[in-house]
């Protein structure tokens, strides 16, 4: 079983890890079937408290927006697989992760300028 | 490949818009009305590490990644208005570095005045954030000296008030440091990056003051040959400091009150208002409550300004602070003019400690500046102090706002009198006389004269030229 955390805002990956107050935690059977989903709401945003929460929840993978180097290094050191600077809807990012196609810096949004797809 | 956008008709040949933006030494991001990225300049790419290919057509929050985007998006805050917004925030760039930034967001209007997008500039404040402690102190409350109980309680309140957006009324006698406090409040507030505009309400006649504060439109009155923005408009996104608010004419008090209520300014002769995002700080040495009773100040304006009040105590009520301030200004002026003095003599100190200081800190500062300048002995002696200090008795309960007239001229002025000079000689006259005396005493030798005066040879040379001494 694997646990993946995705900090969210309005169902999308929040652009900043340190400003997240809502975390989606997905339990899955390896990279396949989703077994369980839960959201945790934090009373305030704090990168440090969020790191502690991820460790307390035994998270294996983190998919998030922009993150400072020190937290990135810390979580990697603690064995968390971190995909940072990811933007877009959480479900698209999760599907990409399931199919081994996700990389740090991926932007999973439709590109539009003045209402027209480009 | 993206077409190269051009600016037409501004000059005789079309201009390369991309190249124009790349020349700007700030990060610039152009957005459409849905806040999706249309263009980034090179500087933006350098700050954020995002390239245009990656960012094009994406929501700006995912590209800029600033704290303001998440907590208080400036574009949404504008809410369709035509005014710009400046705020300080931070970003995390692609190198995973957190950088302090100043973000300014403004709408882009088409020729019909319709918003067709937004332009944001990003300034990296990293170098400013790492200022030295000395520089930092100059812009913070650290520059306000005092440890008495009254000042301690002010120091506790000031940072909280600075962070708020409330109007503050600063009261206190002349020379108590109202301007310093106002500037420190601005510099430690969220508006520090914006302008700090100071207006002395007592310094301009009523007709000029209105135009100065609120601006005027072309043709509003004879001589109004062009539009003038007015100080309130210039202070947009910053702080306006109205000093001597007690001297504001009644008619303008009404206009100021209207502004405080709806935050819109109407220039003289204009019908179109401007939404000004301005914080008001006001100061006065007058008793506004008394003025309200006399019908000289509007009660409603007093209530509106008096959201928070800081009363700066006069120096005679600041027990223990006189010595602190004497030492502070002594070291300031000796450093400024590179003079090696060994403090105050016991007699001089006793005189300074018991003096009444009706002019408060300003007077104390001037006394120290004078003494440091004229002292030629190793220590500042009693005779180096302005003469009126020696003749005045301690007066701790003097009525406020009465500036004492010098009772006796200083020793230098006495010397000047001997030379048929007016007893009200200016500092320049006294200074010139001192240089002449030193030159005479040293037989015209500049090195020796400079030593006698306690200044360097080059300073003496500059002064000789300044005063045209042959």
Is the domain defined by A2-117 classed in CATH 3.40.190.80?
Answer: no
State whether B61 and A66 contact (CB < 8 Å): no
- Taking the CA atoms of chain B, what radius of gyration do you get in angstroms? 28
Q: What is the dihedral of CA B320, B321, B323, B326, to 10 degrees?
A: -170
DSSP B65: -
Q: In this structure, are residues B323 and B439 in contact, taking their beta carbons and an 8 Å threshold? A: no
Q: Using alpha carbons, list the distances in angstroms from residue B187 to B68, B190, B392.
A: 20, 8, 39
Q: How far is CA B154 from CA A74, B274, B320, B371, in A?
A: 42, 35, 16, 30
| For the ranges B5-14, B258-267, B293-302, B383-392, the one whose mean pLDDT is highest | B293-302
From B36, which residue of chain A is nearest by alpha-carbon distance? A113
Q: How far is CA B103 from CA B46, B233, B235, in A?
A: 16, 19, 17
CATH of B6-129, one of 3.40.800.10, 3.30.450.20, 3.90.230.10, 3.90.420.10: 3.30.450.20
pLDDT digits (tens, 9 = 90+) for B417-464: 334 444 444 566 667 777 888 888 888 888 888 777 777 777 788 778
What's A1's DSSP letter? -
Host H or E run for residue B256: helix B250-262
CB contact under 8 A, A15 and B69: yes
Does ipTM come in above 0.85? yes
The reply to whether residue A69 touches residue B71, judged by beta carbons under 8 angstroms, is no
Nearest CA in chain B to A108: B58
Report the residue from B61, B94, B97 with minimal CB separation from A15: B61
Query: B271-284: per-residue pLDDT in tens?
Result: 777 888 899 999 99
Q: Provide the H-helix boundaries in B39-169.
A: 42-48, 52-55, 61-64, 67-71, 74-78, 126-129, 133-138, 149-163
> C-alpha dihedral over B205, B210, B212, B213, to 10 degrees?
130
**Domain chopping of chain A, boundaries:** 2-117
User: Would you list the domain boundaries of chain B?
Assistant: 6-129, 135-312, 409-470
pLDDT tens digit at each of 118 positions of chain A: 899 999 999 889 999 999 999 999 999 988 888 899 999 999 889 999 999 999 999 999 999 999 999 899 899 989 999 999 999 999 999 999 999 999 999 999 999 999 998 8
Instruction: State the pTM of this model.
Output: 0.51
B369-395 average pLDDT score: 82
Q: What is the mean pLDDT of chain B?
A: 81
Asked if B62's CB is within 8 angstroms of A68's CB, the reply is: no
CB-CB under 8 Å, B38 with A69: no
Q: Decide: B281 and B239 in contact? Cβ < 8 Å.
A: yes
The CATH superfamily assigned to B135-312 is P-loop containing nucleotide triphosphate hydrolases (3.40.50.300)
Q: Chain B residues with CB inside 8 Å of A87's CB?
A: 58-59, 62
What was the pLDDT predicted at B8?
85
Tell me the C-alpha distance between B30 and B42, whole Å: 12
User: Which listed CATH number (3.40.50.300, 3.40.30.10, 1.10.10.60, 3.40.190.10) goes with B409-470?
Assistant: 1.10.10.60
Contacts of B96 in chain A (CB under 8 A): 66-69, 72, 84
Whether A75 and A94 have beta carbons less than 8 Å apart is answered as no
pLDDT tier for residue B130 given thresholds of 50, 70 and 90: low
């Amino acid at each position: 079983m694997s646990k993946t955390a995705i900090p969210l805002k309005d169902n999308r990956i929040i652009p900043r890890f340190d400003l997240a107050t809502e975390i989606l935690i997905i339990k899955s059977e390896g990279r396949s079937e989703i077994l369980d989903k839960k959201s945790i709401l934090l009373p305030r945003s704090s990168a440090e408290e969020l790191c502690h929460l991820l460790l307390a929840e035994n998270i294996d993978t983190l998919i998030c927006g922009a993150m400072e180097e020190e937290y990135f290094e810390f979580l990697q050191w603690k064995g968390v697989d971190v995909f940072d600077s990811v933007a877009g809807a959480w479900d698209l990012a999760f599907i990409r992760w399931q199919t081994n196609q996700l990389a740090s810096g991926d932007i999973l949004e439709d590109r539009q300028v003045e209402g027209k797809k480009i | 490949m993206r077409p190269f956008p051009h600016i037409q008709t501004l000059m005789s040949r079309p201009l390369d818009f991309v190249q124009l933006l790349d020349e700007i030494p700030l990060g610039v991001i152009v957005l459409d009305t849905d806040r999706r990225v249309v263009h980034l300049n090179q500087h933006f790419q350098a700050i954020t590490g995002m390239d245009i290919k990656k960012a094009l057509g994406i929501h700006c929050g995912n590209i800029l990644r600033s704290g303001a985007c998440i907590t208080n998006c400036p574009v949404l805050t504008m809410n369709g208005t035509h005014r710009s917004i400046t705020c300080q925030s931070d970003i995390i760039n692609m190198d995973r570095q957190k950088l302090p930034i100043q973000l300014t967001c403004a709408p882009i209007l088409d020729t019909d005045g319709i918003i067709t997008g937004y332009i944001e500039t990003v300034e990296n404040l990293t170098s400013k954030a790492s200022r030295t402690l000395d520089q930092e102190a100059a812009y913070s409350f650290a520059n306000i000296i005092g440890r008495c109980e009254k000042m301690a309680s002010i120091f506790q309140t000031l940072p909280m008030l600075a962070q708020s957006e409330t109007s503050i009324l600063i009261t206190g006698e002349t020379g108590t440091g109202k301007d310093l406090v106002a500037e420190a409040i601005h510099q430690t507030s969220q508006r520090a990056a914006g302008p700090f505009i100071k207006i002395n309400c007592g310094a301009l006649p009523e007709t000029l003051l209105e135009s100065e504060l609120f601006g005027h439109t072309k043709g509003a009155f004879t001589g109004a040959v062009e539009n003038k923005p007015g100080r309130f408009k210039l202070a947009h996104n910053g702080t306006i400091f109205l000093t001597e608010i007690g001297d504001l004419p009644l008619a303008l008090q009404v206009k100021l009150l209207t502004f405080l209520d709806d935050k819109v300014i109407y220039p003289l002769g204009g019908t179109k208002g401007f939404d000004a995002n301005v914080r008001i700080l006001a100061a006065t040495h007058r008793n506004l409550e008394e003025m309200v009773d006399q019908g000289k100040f509007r009660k409603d304006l007093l209530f509106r300004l008096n959201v928070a009040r800081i009363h700066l105590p006069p120096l005679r009520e600041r027990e223990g602070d006189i010595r602190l301030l004497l030492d502070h200004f002594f070291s300031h002026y000796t450093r400024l003019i590179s003079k090696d003095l060994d403090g105050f003599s016991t007699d001089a100190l006793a005189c300074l400690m018991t003096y009444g200081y009706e002019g408060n800190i300003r007077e104390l500062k001037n006394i120290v500046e004078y003494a440091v300048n004229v002292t030629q002995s190793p220590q500042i002696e009693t005779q180096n102090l302005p003469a009126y200090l020696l003749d005045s008795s301690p007066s701790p309960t003097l009525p406020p706002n009465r500036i004492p007239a010098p009772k006796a001229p200083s020793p230098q002025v006495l010397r000047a009198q001997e030379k048929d000079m007016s007893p009200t000689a200016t500092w320049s006259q006294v200074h010139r006389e001192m240089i002449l005396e030193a030159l005479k005493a040293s037989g015209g030798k500049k090195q020796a004269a400079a030593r006698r005066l306690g200044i360097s040879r080059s300073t003496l040379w500059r002064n000789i030229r300044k005063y045209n001494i042959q």
